[in-house]
Structure 1
């Protein structure tokens, strides 16, 4: 009983120490000087390859199967008109972030609040699996169905642009993101909605085939909502890491940096 109490006490001490003093990057990850874009790209790409299952200690989730919040893809007002539609997804999982390659990175300078941070990446294949719920009306066609969704984004070129503000804790600087925007370009989008029309499997196949044959038109219509979901995804991913790891602890020769900015 006493040994159990000691073990619990030590565990809580470790948790509190992490909260107060911040988490540390793994020792096998290269640290760079502020603003060294070449080194930062090399270091982040190495981290992605080494840790596909994420690093829970610093708030980095699994990259090979990243779980995301519920997503609203489409929501038009139900004004009893001839056309309206709502499309929501739950149990969202993105697969393939562990194959991402950072191709450009700028803005992580000694004072990152002075400029925008830009991160560009290429993802050969990003697979989105989820449960979808669709309700709607298109003239005489009425939809009210749910099923499994598989969405395949191929050769994704992603650009994240954001600004940060600074928060001080225990004489260390921590970043907080605001105004994050994302731009997504891709070569192909393949989507499959199972049970789209339960009473007629042939119609389900035909509708899915039509969507994929005319995927550019569908993508142009849904792109703002899909990109918004990407934005939310990467905002949450980066924010978790920035919340846990002090900005100065990510870089070399930052011994006096936090003290300098706190005295300004």
Structure 2
């Protein structure tokens, strides 16, 4: 056996023997109380640097390369809003309050419910369109913040076989958001016209609830993909069964 073949074989054996870290200890299948404690531990303790032991990425701030909110012409809020190279701030302050699923059967619906005091998307934006009959356009820096929000992220698990082991991917992702308040701040609207820009920002914040209801579906779909990426990254570290203990 050549040196290269031996190293590959050794790595394969090590990978097959890999298991979920013992600190914190893995939960039993479907043990919602244990899962809540474990998830909250990783978010609260590891959000600044991530955790390579479970492929947990750095969460706060979380880089968002691109996110788009696009509302059709039939909506009172008819906009094409693109965020590029933004940061999502506040995930480290998330508290998970409910877990469903995560039993032995991967191909079931799973749900994570959590609340967050403040969740902000901050960075460059580009917008054009119409907001409640008023035209809007501009590009610059923005801050879009949800305050005291309760979110429910759900998905259907999909079994994927790799090297004879079963891994979990997420399909049919859905996010429901219920914020107490939203704030919007867009700099350099209308080519830097300060008066028009200030008036539009004031209008957006005075009418935040009506605007949020109109863009809610598009916004939730965009954020759902962000949370899906975090989840799937974590579940690529080990086969699904390695995250749990049988008894």
TM-score by length of 2: 0.84
Q: Please name the residue that 2:193 is paired with.
A: 200
Question: Can you list the C-alpha shifts for 1:221-247, whole angstroms capped at 9, x where unaligned?
Answer: 111111111111111111111122221
CA contact (8 A) 1:92 1:131 kept: yes
Equivalent-residue separation in structure 2 for 1:176 and 1:19 (angstroms): 23
Does 2:91 align with 1:91? no
Q: Which SS does the other structure have where 1:243 is aligned?
A: coil
The runs of 5 or more residues in structure 1 that have no matched partner are 1-5, 78-82, 255-264
Pairwise CA RMSD of aligned residues? 3.0
Q: Please name the residue that 1:111 is paired with.
A: 105
Residue 199 of structure 1: CA displacement? 4.2
Q: Please name the residue that 1:58 is paired with.
A: 54
CA contact (8 A) 1:151 1:192 kept: yes
Equivalent-residue separation in structure 2 for 1:236 and 1:22 (angstroms): 25
Residue 26 of structure 1: CA displacement? 3.9
**One of 221, 233, 242 as aligned partner of 1:228:** 221
Whichever of the two has the greater Rg, that structure is 1
Alignment size in residue pairs:
238
By percentage of residues, which structure has more strand?
Answer: 2
Equivalent-residue separation in structure 1 for 2:153 and 2:129 (angstroms): 33
Residue 27 of structure 1: CA displacement? 3.5
The runs of 5 or more residues in structure 2 that have no matched partner are none
TM-score by length of 1: 0.79
Matches within 5 A, 1:76-155: 76=72, 85-113=79-107, 115-136=108-129, 144-155=137-148
Matches within 5 A, 1:216-255: 216-253=209-246
